[in-house]
Protein backbone atom coordinates (compact mmCIF):
# COMPACT_ATOMS: atom_id res chain seq x y z
CA UNK A 1 0.00 0.00 0.00
CA UNK A 2 1.52 3.43 -0.94
CA UNK A 3 2.39 5.89 1.82
CA UNK A 4 -0.18 8.56 2.49
CA UNK A 5 0.81 12.17 1.90
CA UNK A 6 0.96 14.60 4.83
CA UNK A 7 -2.50 15.56 5.99
CA UNK A 8 -3.65 18.97 4.76
CA UNK A 9 -6.49 21.21 5.87
CA UNK A 10 -8.91 19.74 3.29
CA UNK A 11 -7.69 16.13 3.37
CA UNK A 12 -10.23 13.35 3.82
CA UNK A 13 -9.23 9.71 4.36
CA UNK A 14 -11.76 7.23 2.97
CA UNK A 15 -11.89 3.51 3.79
CA UNK A 16 -14.79 1.10 3.36
CA UNK A 17 -17.96 3.06 3.98
CA UNK A 18 -16.20 5.51 6.30
CA UNK A 19 -14.73 8.97 5.84
CA UNK A 20 -12.21 10.33 8.34
CA UNK A 21 -11.71 14.12 8.51
CA UNK A 22 -8.49 14.60 10.54
CA UNK A 23 -8.55 18.39 10.77
CA UNK A 24 -12.19 18.39 11.84
CA UNK A 25 -11.72 15.37 14.10
CA UNK A 26 -14.77 13.79 12.54
CA UNK A 27 -15.54 10.18 11.53
CA UNK A 28 -18.49 9.61 9.20
CA UNK A 29 -20.33 6.38 8.43
CA UNK A 30 -21.81 7.46 5.12
CA UNK A 31 -23.53 10.72 6.09
CA UNK A 32 -23.83 9.82 9.78
CA UNK A 33 -21.23 11.14 12.25
CA UNK A 34 -20.03 8.48 14.67
CA UNK A 35 -19.59 9.15 18.40
CA UNK A 36 -15.95 8.47 19.15
CA UNK A 37 -13.80 9.53 22.09
CA UNK A 38 -10.89 11.92 21.67
CA UNK A 39 -8.21 9.33 22.54
CA UNK A 40 -9.79 6.68 20.31
CA UNK A 41 -9.83 9.16 17.42
CA UNK A 42 -6.15 9.98 17.99
CA UNK A 43 -5.31 6.26 17.87
CA UNK A 44 -7.34 5.81 14.68
CA UNK A 45 -5.47 8.68 13.03
CA UNK A 46 -2.10 7.11 13.90
CA UNK A 47 -3.14 3.73 12.47
CA UNK A 48 -4.84 5.06 9.34
CA UNK A 49 -1.86 7.27 8.47
CA UNK A 50 0.28 4.08 8.52
CA UNK A 51 -2.32 1.82 6.90
CA UNK A 52 -0.91 -1.55 5.87
CA UNK A 53 2.04 -1.23 8.25
CA UNK A 54 2.56 -2.52 11.77
CA UNK A 55 2.67 0.26 14.36
CA UNK A 56 4.16 -0.76 17.69
CA UNK A 57 2.18 -0.22 20.88
CA UNK A 58 4.97 1.97 22.16
CA UNK A 59 4.79 4.19 19.06
CA UNK A 60 1.02 4.60 19.37
CA UNK A 61 1.25 5.49 23.07
CA UNK A 62 4.06 7.96 22.35
CA UNK A 63 1.89 9.73 19.73
CA UNK A 64 -1.40 9.71 21.63
CA UNK A 65 -0.04 10.23 25.16
CA UNK A 66 3.25 12.07 24.46
CA UNK A 67 5.71 12.19 27.36
CA UNK A 68 3.10 10.78 29.74
CA UNK A 69 3.18 7.44 31.53
CA UNK A 70 0.26 5.31 30.34
CA UNK A 71 -0.31 1.61 30.91
CA UNK A 72 -0.91 -0.64 27.91
CA UNK A 73 -4.40 -1.52 29.17
CA UNK A 74 -5.51 2.03 28.25
CA UNK A 75 -4.51 1.43 24.65
CA UNK A 76 -6.29 -1.93 24.53
CA UNK A 77 -9.52 -0.40 25.86
CA UNK A 78 -9.56 2.25 23.12
CA UNK A 79 -8.66 -0.28 20.40
CA UNK A 80 -11.63 -2.42 21.49
CA UNK A 81 -13.90 0.64 21.36
CA UNK A 82 -12.69 1.42 17.84
CA UNK A 83 -13.37 -2.12 16.67
CA UNK A 84 -16.94 -1.92 18.00
CA UNK A 85 -17.54 1.37 16.18
CA UNK A 86 -16.03 0.25 12.84
CA UNK A 87 -17.52 -3.25 12.76
CA UNK A 88 -16.49 -5.82 10.14
CA UNK A 89 -13.89 -4.88 7.52
CA UNK A 90 -14.49 -6.02 3.87
CA UNK A 91 -10.88 -7.22 3.59
CA UNK A 92 -10.61 -8.81 7.03
CA UNK A 93 -12.55 -9.63 10.17
CA UNK A 94 -11.50 -6.37 11.84
CA UNK A 95 -10.24 -3.06 10.50
CA UNK A 96 -7.54 -3.14 13.19
CA UNK A 97 -5.56 -6.35 13.63
CA UNK A 98 -3.28 -7.27 16.51
CA UNK A 99 0.12 -8.55 15.38
CA UNK A 100 1.37 -10.59 18.32
CA UNK A 101 4.23 -8.96 20.23
CA UNK A 102 4.68 -6.37 17.47
CA UNK A 103 1.74 -4.00 17.58
CA UNK A 104 -1.39 -3.10 15.58
CA UNK A 105 -2.10 -2.67 11.89
CA UNK A 106 -4.94 -0.96 10.00
CA UNK A 107 -5.66 -3.44 7.19
CA UNK A 108 -8.30 -1.71 5.05
CA UNK A 109 -7.43 0.12 1.85
CA UNK A 110 -7.27 3.86 2.53
CA UNK A 111 -7.93 6.43 -0.17
CA UNK A 112 -6.89 10.04 0.24
CA UNK A 113 -9.27 12.60 -1.25
CA UNK A 114 -9.15 16.39 -1.31
CA UNK A 115 -12.81 17.37 -1.02
CA UNK A 116 -15.92 15.81 0.44
CA UNK A 117 -19.61 16.29 0.76
CA UNK A 118 -19.11 17.72 4.26
CA UNK A 119 -17.09 20.76 3.10
CA UNK A 120 -19.93 22.98 4.28
CA UNK A 121 -18.94 22.17 7.84
CA UNK A 122 -15.90 24.40 7.63
CA UNK A 123 -17.97 27.46 6.87
CA UNK A 124 -20.48 26.47 9.51
CA UNK A 125 -17.92 26.19 12.26
CA UNK A 126 -15.97 29.05 13.84
CA UNK A 127 -14.53 27.33 16.90
CA UNK A 128 -11.24 28.83 18.07
CA UNK A 129 -8.34 26.43 18.36
CA UNK A 130 -7.23 25.14 21.76
CA UNK A 131 -4.45 22.74 22.79
CA UNK A 132 -5.41 19.19 21.77
CA UNK A 133 -4.38 17.59 25.05
CA UNK A 134 -6.79 17.83 27.97
CA UNK A 135 -5.88 15.98 31.15
CA UNK A 136 -8.43 14.10 33.22
CA UNK A 137 -11.56 15.14 31.31
CA UNK A 138 -12.10 12.38 28.71
CA UNK A 139 -15.02 10.69 30.45
CA UNK A 140 -16.77 14.00 31.17
CA UNK A 141 -16.32 15.19 27.58
CA UNK A 142 -17.82 11.99 26.19
CA UNK A 143 -20.72 12.17 28.66
CA UNK A 144 -21.49 15.78 27.75
CA UNK A 145 -21.28 14.95 24.05
CA UNK A 146 -23.97 12.30 24.54
CA UNK A 147 -26.13 14.54 26.70
CA UNK A 148 -26.24 17.25 24.06
CA UNK A 149 -28.47 14.97 22.00
CA UNK A 150 -31.06 14.72 24.76
CA UNK A 151 -30.56 18.05 26.56
CA UNK A 152 -31.17 21.31 24.76
CA UNK A 153 -29.22 23.50 27.15
CA UNK A 154 -26.10 22.53 29.11
CA UNK A 155 -24.10 24.94 31.25
CA UNK A 156 -20.61 24.15 32.51
CA UNK A 157 -20.00 25.96 35.80
CA UNK A 158 -16.95 26.23 38.02
CA UNK A 159 -14.35 28.65 39.40
CA UNK A 160 -12.17 30.72 37.12
CA UNK A 161 -9.24 28.81 35.68
CA UNK A 162 -10.79 25.35 36.09
CA UNK A 163 -10.94 24.79 32.31
CA UNK A 164 -14.60 25.37 31.40
CA UNK A 165 -13.87 26.91 28.00
CA UNK A 166 -11.35 24.23 27.06
CA UNK A 167 -13.76 21.41 27.90
CA UNK A 168 -16.70 23.13 26.19
CA UNK A 169 -14.67 23.63 23.01
CA UNK A 170 -13.69 19.97 22.91
CA UNK A 171 -17.35 18.96 23.36
CA UNK A 172 -18.34 21.36 20.58
CA UNK A 173 -15.62 19.96 18.30
CA UNK A 174 -17.10 16.50 18.73
CA UNK A 175 -20.46 17.79 17.51
CA UNK A 176 -19.19 18.75 14.05
CA UNK A 177 -21.40 16.99 11.55
CA UNK A 178 -24.28 16.38 13.94
CA UNK A 179 -25.90 19.76 13.24
CA UNK A 180 -26.93 20.59 9.69
CA UNK A 181 -26.34 24.32 10.22
CA UNK A 182 -23.09 23.92 12.09
CA UNK A 183 -21.54 24.92 15.39
CA UNK A 184 -21.07 28.53 16.45
CA UNK A 185 -18.95 30.14 19.16
CA UNK A 186 -19.52 33.45 20.96
CA UNK A 187 -17.09 34.76 23.60
CA UNK A 188 -19.07 37.20 25.73
CA UNK A 189 -16.24 38.20 28.09
CA UNK A 190 -15.70 41.63 26.56
CA UNK A 191 -19.40 42.50 26.32
CA UNK A 192 -20.43 44.88 29.11
CA UNK A 193 -23.95 45.93 28.12
CA UNK A 194 -26.71 43.30 28.55
CA UNK A 195 -28.85 45.21 26.06
CA UNK A 196 -26.29 44.44 23.34
CA UNK A 197 -26.30 40.67 23.94
CA UNK A 198 -28.66 39.71 21.11
CA UNK A 199 -26.86 41.97 18.62
CA UNK A 200 -23.46 40.61 19.67
CA UNK A 201 -24.60 36.99 19.50
CA UNK A 202 -26.08 37.53 16.02
CA UNK A 203 -22.80 39.07 14.86
CA UNK A 204 -20.76 36.18 16.29
CA UNK A 205 -23.07 33.74 14.51
CA UNK A 206 -22.69 35.53 11.19
CA UNK A 207 -26.31 36.70 11.15
CA UNK A 208 -26.80 40.25 9.87
CA UNK A 209 -29.47 42.24 11.69
CA UNK A 210 -31.15 44.83 9.41
CA UNK A 211 -31.07 48.40 10.67
CA UNK A 212 -34.06 49.24 12.82
CA UNK A 213 -34.97 45.57 13.43
CA UNK A 214 -35.06 44.13 16.95
CA UNK A 215 -32.02 41.83 17.23
CA UNK A 216 -33.67 39.22 19.45
CA UNK A 217 -36.77 38.95 17.27
CA UNK A 218 -34.58 38.64 14.18
CA UNK A 219 -32.50 35.92 15.84
CA UNK A 220 -35.62 33.98 16.79
CA UNK A 221 -37.00 34.18 13.26
CA UNK A 222 -33.66 33.29 11.62
CA UNK A 223 -33.00 30.29 13.87
CA UNK A 224 -36.56 28.96 13.83
CA UNK A 225 -35.80 26.18 11.34
CA UNK A 226 -32.07 25.81 11.97
CA UNK A 227 -30.29 22.79 13.43
CA UNK A 228 -27.38 24.38 15.22
CA UNK A 229 -25.21 24.23 18.33
CA UNK A 230 -24.25 27.56 19.89
CA UNK A 231 -21.46 27.77 22.45
CA UNK A 232 -21.92 30.87 24.65
CA UNK A 233 -18.68 31.38 26.58
CA UNK A 234 -18.30 33.46 29.77
CA UNK A 235 -21.90 34.24 30.68
CA UNK A 236 -21.50 35.01 34.39
CA UNK A 237 -21.39 38.82 34.15
CA UNK A 238 -24.50 38.81 31.92
CA UNK A 239 -26.25 35.89 33.56
CA UNK A 240 -29.78 37.38 33.59
CA UNK A 241 -29.59 38.54 29.98
CA UNK A 242 -28.06 35.23 28.84
CA UNK A 243 -30.80 33.28 30.62
CA UNK A 244 -33.60 35.35 29.07
CA UNK A 245 -32.15 35.19 25.56
CA UNK A 246 -31.39 31.46 25.81
CA UNK A 247 -34.97 30.67 26.82
CA UNK A 248 -36.37 32.82 24.02
CA UNK A 249 -34.17 31.19 21.37
CA UNK A 250 -34.80 27.63 22.59
CA UNK A 251 -38.54 28.27 22.54
CA UNK A 252 -38.38 29.65 18.99
CA UNK A 253 -35.99 27.07 17.49
CA UNK A 254 -36.63 23.40 18.21
CA UNK A 255 -33.40 22.35 16.43
CA UNK A 256 -31.19 24.64 18.52
CA UNK A 257 -28.84 23.46 21.28
CA UNK A 258 -27.00 25.79 23.64
CA UNK A 259 -23.76 24.92 25.43
CA UNK A 260 -22.73 27.64 27.88
CA UNK A 261 -19.86 28.29 30.27
CA UNK A 262 -20.32 30.42 33.35
CA UNK A 263 -19.16 30.76 36.93
CA UNK A 264 -22.82 30.55 37.87
CA UNK A 265 -25.81 28.65 36.45
CA UNK A 266 -28.20 30.48 34.15
CA UNK A 267 -31.22 28.76 35.73
CA UNK A 268 -33.28 28.43 32.54
CA UNK A 269 -36.19 26.01 32.32
CA UNK A 270 -34.27 23.43 30.24
CA UNK A 271 -30.79 23.91 31.68
CA UNK A 272 -28.67 20.91 32.69
CA UNK A 273 -25.94 22.18 35.03
CA UNK A 274 -22.58 20.40 34.96
CA UNK A 275 -20.12 21.51 37.67
CA UNK A 276 -16.48 21.25 36.63
CA UNK A 277 -14.16 20.29 39.47
CA UNK A 278 -10.39 20.90 39.60
CA UNK A 279 -8.10 18.08 38.49
CA UNK A 280 -7.38 15.27 40.92
CA UNK A 281 -4.07 15.78 42.71
CA UNK A 282 -2.13 13.45 45.03
CA UNK A 283 -3.09 13.71 48.72
CA UNK A 284 -0.60 15.64 50.83
CA UNK A 285 2.09 13.34 52.27
CA UNK A 286 1.11 10.41 50.04
CA UNK A 287 4.78 9.38 49.38
CA UNK A 288 4.09 8.24 45.81
CA UNK A 289 6.58 6.75 43.38
CA UNK A 290 6.95 8.38 39.96
CA UNK A 291 4.67 5.98 38.05
CA UNK A 292 1.88 6.34 40.62
CA UNK A 293 2.15 10.15 40.70
CA UNK A 294 1.82 10.35 36.91
CA UNK A 295 -1.61 8.74 37.14
CA UNK A 296 -2.95 11.97 38.66
CA UNK A 297 -4.20 14.45 36.03
CA UNK A 298 -2.85 17.44 37.99
CA UNK A 299 0.68 16.01 37.96
CA UNK A 300 0.42 15.05 34.28
CA UNK A 301 -0.64 18.60 33.43
CA UNK A 302 2.27 20.08 35.37
CA UNK A 303 4.76 17.80 33.59
CA UNK A 304 3.28 18.54 30.17
CA UNK A 305 3.37 22.30 30.69
CA UNK A 306 6.90 22.11 32.13
CA UNK A 307 8.06 20.24 29.02
CA UNK A 308 6.40 22.84 26.83
CA UNK A 309 8.66 25.42 28.52
CA UNK A 310 11.77 23.24 28.78
CA UNK A 311 12.16 20.46 26.22
CA UNK A 312 14.66 18.61 28.41
CA UNK A 313 12.49 18.64 31.55
CA UNK A 314 12.17 15.25 33.24
CA UNK A 315 10.23 14.50 36.38
CA UNK A 316 12.61 12.61 38.64
CA UNK A 317 11.72 10.33 41.53
CA UNK A 318 13.34 12.85 43.86
CA UNK A 319 11.08 15.63 42.52
CA UNK A 320 7.80 13.74 43.00
CA UNK A 321 7.11 14.85 46.62
CA UNK A 322 7.52 18.54 45.72
CA UNK A 323 5.46 18.36 42.53
CA UNK A 324 2.74 16.41 44.34
CA UNK A 325 2.69 19.02 47.13
CA UNK A 326 2.61 21.83 44.58
CA UNK A 327 -0.38 20.35 42.73
CA UNK A 328 -2.19 19.72 46.03
CA UNK A 329 -1.57 23.23 47.36
CA UNK A 330 -2.79 24.66 44.04
CA UNK A 331 -6.00 22.63 44.52
CA UNK A 332 -5.57 20.90 41.15
CA UNK A 333 -6.66 24.13 39.41
CA UNK A 334 -5.42 23.91 35.80
CA UNK A 335 -4.70 27.64 35.42
CA UNK A 336 -2.71 27.71 38.67
CA UNK A 337 -0.71 24.61 37.67
CA UNK A 338 0.11 26.02 34.23
CA UNK A 339 1.26 29.31 35.73
CA UNK A 340 3.41 27.47 38.28
CA UNK A 341 5.01 25.27 35.60
CA UNK A 342 5.92 28.37 33.62
CA UNK A 343 8.01 29.57 36.57
CA UNK A 344 10.51 26.75 36.05
CA UNK A 345 12.22 29.05 33.55
CA UNK A 346 13.31 31.25 36.45
CA UNK A 347 13.37 29.20 39.64
CA UNK A 348 13.39 25.76 41.24
CA UNK A 349 10.49 23.72 42.57
CA UNK A 350 11.48 24.80 46.09
CA UNK A 351 11.30 28.42 44.99
CA UNK A 352 7.83 27.98 43.50
CA UNK A 353 6.60 26.27 46.67
CA UNK A 354 7.99 29.13 48.76
CA UNK A 355 5.83 31.58 46.80
CA UNK A 356 2.70 29.75 47.92
CA UNK A 357 3.28 30.88 51.50
CA UNK A 358 1.94 34.34 50.64
CA UNK A 359 -0.40 35.84 48.07
CA UNK A 360 2.38 36.92 45.65
CA UNK A 361 1.91 33.82 43.50
CA UNK A 362 -1.52 35.13 42.50
CA UNK A 363 0.20 37.69 40.27
CA UNK A 364 2.28 35.21 38.25
CA UNK A 365 1.64 35.89 34.58
CA UNK A 366 0.70 33.39 31.89
CA UNK A 367 0.98 33.40 28.09
CA UNK A 368 0.65 36.72 26.26
CA UNK A 369 -2.11 35.21 24.11
CA UNK A 370 -4.18 34.34 27.19
CA UNK A 371 -7.40 36.36 27.70
CA UNK A 372 -6.88 39.14 30.25
CA UNK A 373 -9.12 37.49 32.85
CA UNK A 374 -6.82 34.40 32.78
CA UNK A 375 -3.49 36.24 32.53
CA UNK A 376 -2.97 35.50 36.23
CA UNK A 377 -4.85 34.01 39.17
CA UNK A 378 -5.24 37.54 40.46
CA UNK A 379 -6.98 38.63 37.25
CA UNK A 380 -9.23 35.55 37.26
CA UNK A 381 -10.31 36.17 40.85
CA UNK A 382 -10.75 39.91 40.27
CA UNK A 383 -13.19 38.99 37.48
CA UNK A 384 -15.38 37.08 39.95
CA UNK A 385 -14.84 39.63 42.73
CA UNK A 386 -16.20 42.34 40.47
CA UNK A 387 -19.53 40.50 40.30
CA UNK A 388 -20.04 40.74 44.09
CA UNK A 389 -21.84 43.38 46.12
CA UNK A 390 -20.04 45.14 48.97
CA UNK A 391 -21.76 42.88 51.51
CA UNK A 392 -20.82 39.73 49.57
CA UNK A 393 -17.20 40.88 49.41
CA UNK A 394 -17.07 41.39 53.17
CA UNK A 395 -18.53 37.91 53.70
CA UNK A 396 -15.96 36.34 51.36
CA UNK A 397 -13.20 38.04 53.34
CA UNK A 398 -14.71 36.76 56.60
CA UNK A 399 -14.99 33.18 55.35
CA UNK A 400 -11.32 33.25 54.29
CA UNK A 401 -10.50 32.92 58.01
CA UNK A 402 -12.05 29.42 58.04
CA UNK A 403 -10.19 26.18 57.35
CA UNK A 404 -10.16 24.60 53.89
CA UNK A 405 -13.36 22.73 54.75
CA UNK A 406 -15.81 24.35 57.14
CA UNK A 407 -19.33 23.78 58.42
CA UNK A 408 -22.36 26.04 58.56
CA UNK A 409 -21.55 26.72 62.24
CA UNK A 410 -17.97 27.65 61.29
CA UNK A 411 -19.29 30.06 58.67
CA UNK A 412 -21.70 31.66 61.13
CA UNK A 413 -18.90 32.16 63.65
CA UNK A 414 -16.54 33.63 61.02
CA UNK A 415 -19.22 36.07 59.83
CA UNK A 416 -20.53 37.00 63.28
CA UNK A 417 -18.60 40.28 63.33
CA UNK A 418 -19.21 41.19 59.68
CA UNK A 419 -21.45 44.29 59.72
CA UNK A 420 -24.36 42.85 57.74
CA UNK A 421 -27.72 41.41 58.79
CA UNK A 422 -28.26 37.68 59.35
CA UNK A 423 -30.50 37.57 56.27
CA UNK A 424 -27.84 39.31 54.17
CA UNK A 425 -25.18 36.87 55.43
CA UNK A 426 -27.24 33.86 54.33
CA UNK A 427 -27.89 35.44 50.94
CA UNK A 428 -24.19 36.29 50.55
CA UNK A 429 -23.06 32.73 51.28
CA UNK A 430 -25.60 31.39 48.77
CA UNK A 431 -24.31 33.87 46.17
CA UNK A 432 -20.68 32.87 46.80
CA UNK A 433 -21.64 29.22 46.28
CA UNK A 434 -23.55 30.12 43.09
CA UNK A 435 -20.51 31.95 41.70
CA UNK A 436 -18.20 29.00 42.50
CA UNK A 437 -16.12 31.11 44.90
CA UNK A 438 -16.86 28.56 47.61
CA UNK A 439 -17.91 24.96 47.07
CA UNK A 440 -20.71 23.07 48.78
CA UNK A 441 -20.45 19.39 49.69
CA UNK A 442 -22.88 17.06 51.42
CA UNK A 443 -22.01 14.03 53.52
CA UNK A 444 -25.34 12.50 54.44
CA UNK A 445 -27.19 15.22 56.32
CA UNK A 446 -24.02 17.20 57.04
CA UNK A 447 -23.17 20.18 54.82
CA UNK A 448 -19.59 21.35 54.31
CA UNK A 449 -18.20 24.36 52.49
CA UNK A 450 -14.87 24.42 50.69
CA UNK A 451 -12.70 27.35 49.59
CA UNK A 452 -9.80 26.92 47.17
CA UNK A 453 -6.42 28.00 48.46
CA UNK A 454 -5.98 30.69 45.81
CA UNK A 455 -9.42 32.12 46.62
CA UNK A 456 -8.56 32.19 50.34
CA UNK A 457 -5.24 33.94 49.67
CA UNK A 458 -6.98 36.48 47.44
CA UNK A 459 -9.77 37.16 49.96
CA UNK A 460 -7.31 37.54 52.83
CA UNK A 461 -5.30 40.03 50.76
CA UNK A 462 -8.49 41.99 50.06
CA UNK A 463 -9.26 42.00 53.80
CA UNK A 464 -5.75 43.35 54.52
CA UNK A 465 -6.24 46.09 51.92
CA UNK A 466 -9.60 47.02 53.47
CA UNK A 467 -8.05 47.19 56.96
CA UNK A 468 -5.22 49.43 55.75
CA UNK A 469 -7.63 51.68 53.89
CA UNK A 470 -9.77 52.00 56.99
CA UNK A 471 -6.74 52.82 59.14
CA UNK A 472 -5.70 55.64 56.81
CA UNK A 473 -9.13 57.30 56.83
CA UNK A 474 -9.16 60.68 58.58
CA UNK A 475 -11.98 60.95 61.16
CA UNK A 476 -14.61 63.46 60.25
CA UNK A 477 -14.51 66.67 62.27
CA UNK A 478 -17.50 67.06 64.55
Complete edge-to-edge strand list for the sheet that includes strand 103-106: 54-55, 103-106, 96-99
**Are both 270 and 146 inside the same structural domain?**
yes
In a domain, 380, yes or no: no
In a domain, 310, yes or no: yes
The pLDDT score that the predictor gives to residue 5 is 42
Domain span including residue 296: 290-374
**Are both 154 and 269 inside the same structural domain?**
yes
Tell whether the model's pLDDT for residue 362 goes beyond 90. no
> What's the pLDDT band for 123 if we cut at 50, 70, 90?
very low
In a domain, 330, yes or no: yes
**Are both 367 and 392 inside the same structural domain?**
no
| Angle in degrees, 0-180, between the axes of helices 57-64 and 38-49, rounded to the nearest 10 | 130
The CATH number of the domain holding residue 80 is 1.10.10.10
The CATH number of the domain holding residue 216 is 3.40.50.300
Q: Are 271 and 265 in contact (CB under 8 A)?
A: yes
Tell whether the model's pLDDT for residue 368 goes beyond 60. no
**Are both 211 and 330 inside the same structural domain?**
no
Q: Are 116 and 30 in contact (CB under 8 A)?
A: no
Specify the higher pLDDT residue, 20 or 66: 20
In a domain, 284, yes or no: no
Residue pLDDT, tens place only, 383-419: 999 999 999 999 999 999 998 899 999 999 999 988 8
Tell whether the model's pLDDT for residue 477 goes beyond 80. no
**Are both 179 and 269 inside the same structural domain?**
yes
**Are both 270 and 294 inside the same structural domain?**
no
**Are both 147 and 224 inside the same structural domain?**
yes
Which of 113, 148, 176 lies at the terminal end of a domain, its last residue?
Answer: 113
**Are both 433 and 355 inside the same structural domain?**
no
The pLDDT score that the predictor gives to residue 149 is 86
Cα–Cα nearest to 358, from 469, 460, 451: 460
In a domain, 340, yes or no: yes
CA dihedral 233, 238, 239, 240 (to 10 degrees): -140
In a domain, 128, yes or no: no
In a domain, 410, yes or no: yes
**Are both 151 and 61 inside the same structural domain?**
no
Tell whether the model's pLDDT for residue 210 goes beyond 80. yes
Tell whether the model's pLDDT for residue 272 goes beyond 90. yes
Which of 343, 374, 405 lies at the terminal end of a domain, its last residue?
Answer: 374
Tell whether the model's pLDDT for residue 232 goes beyond 90. yes
Residue pLDDT, tens place only, 69-99: 667 877 888 888 888 888 877 656 788 888 8
Q: Are 382 and 478 in contact (CB under 8 A)?
A: no
**Are both 265 and 166 inside the same structural domain?**
yes
Rounded mean pLDDT of the chain?
85
Which of 79, 97, 113 lies at the terminal end of a domain, its last residue?
Answer: 113
**Are both 147 and 254 inside the same structural domain?**
yes
Cα–Cα nearest to 34, from 136, 122, 142: 142
Instruction: Give the total number of structural domains in the chain.
Output: 4
In a domain, 118, yes or no: no
**Are both 99 and 31 inside the same structural domain?**
yes
Amino acid sequence: MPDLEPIGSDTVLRFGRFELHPQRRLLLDGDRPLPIGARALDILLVLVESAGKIVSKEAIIARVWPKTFVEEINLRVHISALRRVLGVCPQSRDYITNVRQRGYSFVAHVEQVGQSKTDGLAAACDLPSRPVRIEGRDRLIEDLSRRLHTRRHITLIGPGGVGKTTVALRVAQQQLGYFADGVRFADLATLTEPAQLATTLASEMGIAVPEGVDAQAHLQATLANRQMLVLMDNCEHLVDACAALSEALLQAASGLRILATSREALRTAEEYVQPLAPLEAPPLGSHLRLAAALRYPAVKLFVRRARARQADFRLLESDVPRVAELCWRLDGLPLAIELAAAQLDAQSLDGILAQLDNHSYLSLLGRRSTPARHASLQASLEWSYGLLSAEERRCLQGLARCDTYFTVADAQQALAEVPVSATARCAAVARLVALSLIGLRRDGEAVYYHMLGCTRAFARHKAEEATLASAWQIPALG
